[in-house]
Structure 1
Amino acid sequence: MTNVHTLNDINKGDGSFKEVGQRLGSAYEQELKEKLYSALKSKAEINDLSEKLVDKYNEQEKEFENKASQLIASTIKVRFQLISERKSHSESQRELEARYTAKIKSLKFNIKTLKREATLAQKASSADKIKILSLKTKVRELEEDLVQSDPKEIDSLRLELERVKENLNSKEYTIECMEKGIEATHETTKLEKNNKVDSQPPPMNNLSQLGSEGTPSTLNPSQIISIGGAEAVPLLATAPIVTSSSILLMLIYSILTLVLITIICLMARKWWNSWKKDD
């Protein structure tokens, strides 16, 4: 087996081998030099490549750090936006709740007021119906008296009776309009109650009694006033004080009717007294 020598062994002395069997050819030495040179060159290339890779890795790491910082900043920004949006949403929700609460309260108050007005209007309507019945009775009595009277007086009294009948007809028409208005008010109240308000308003108790407004509850027989032989119902006992315009019109009609009945009764009594004197 041949011995293997390195370049250090070759370079010893004057570069020649003195011992037998230790010669190294120049071709083989040249090949080793080339291989060593190529190895050193490849090592330098590897070092350059590794430096480039390290630089590239550092650049990518910096880029990743920048992206991470940007993502963190954007996340913080989005979080602040969400917080501000939640605050604004909660504030708007509170405003809406306050607004709708006030609206519901006003609707409840309106429903209570409408119910009270409807009840008072029903009372006024019933009182006016009683008054109309009493007036019709008096008209029949006057018609019976007119049958036994003189033609001239009969004509004059007939004209007065026609006026009274016209007033009665207008009164009945007013009552019909009021009843229709009451029905429409009830329907409107039910619709508003079903659509806008969930809870029922508190019931109105003791409406049939005398309230703080001074509204009479029922018509007592002692409250009927006799005027010239004809019984008339007082105004305060039959007309409740209501702010509605229809109730005011009814009060005016009631006053005019009472005045007209008083005049007719006075004329009838005067005619009756004169007829007795003539007999």
Structure 2
Amino acid sequence: MFFQKKRYVLILDDLWKAFLLDKVGILEPSISNGCKLVLTTRSLEVCRKMECRAVKVELLTEDKALNLFMSKVEEHQTVLTPKVKEIATKVSKECARLPLAITTIAGSMRGVNDICEWRNALNELTSSTKQIMDNESMMFERLKFSYSHLNEEKLQHCFLYCALYPEDDIIPREELIEYWIAEGLIAEMNSIEAMFDKGHAILNKLINPCLLESHTNIHKEEFVRLHDLIRDMALKITSTSPRFMAKAGEGLERVPYEDWSEDLERVS
């Protein structure tokens, strides 16, 4: 397709593997043809294999990280008392200047003005990452904080169910609620309408702490999606209890026999 274009700027987001451009019909960018390729990846190795000039995206500065955290916590006219704000600043530092961790943890603490809850949040964050040395595990523990603070097992199970969908999938709200009802995650009520209302209320509780992202298309249809790192966190949880196997898009023939165990609760 791109061989037919004279000039282009192509952006590839979240690339995990290097590939040959001409194998997929993309004209090799050069100064002479004026074409450009921009890619984002968490792997420096991918940059090297694609022969790209690497530009590292730095973490937020401490001031910007704190401002982002406080702006999320104090949404909807919530004003923290000075003593609570002092502890909230320490909680913000535990987010390690990572925007996704800041957004999800701040979302979980939005509207909370009780100093005991803030002290408890700080203790949970510091104790969960105390013995962890690698950055990836530390990131998962920080994201898991928002999951743990859902406080309702039903909410947690509804959130984990979303990880059965493929990565970056746009999930229709109504379809997801139908599945929750079919799986018994929403209790029987007087009417289907009441059960769907309950489902929408659950979705909003998952969107508020930024565990799910909300989307609307041009036809005003409503969807949700999981950020890929939050989906990875959910899959890490479901690797133990409850036990899920999510191989969406791979096909049954590619799943090793030993992956099928008796304690599996759900498979995608």
Normalising by structure 2, we get a TM-score of 0.17
Instruction: Considering fraction of residues, name the structure with more helix.
Output: 1
Decide which structure has greater strand share.
Answer: 2
Structure showing greater relative contact order (alpha-carbon pairs closer than 8 Å, 6 or more residues apart): 1
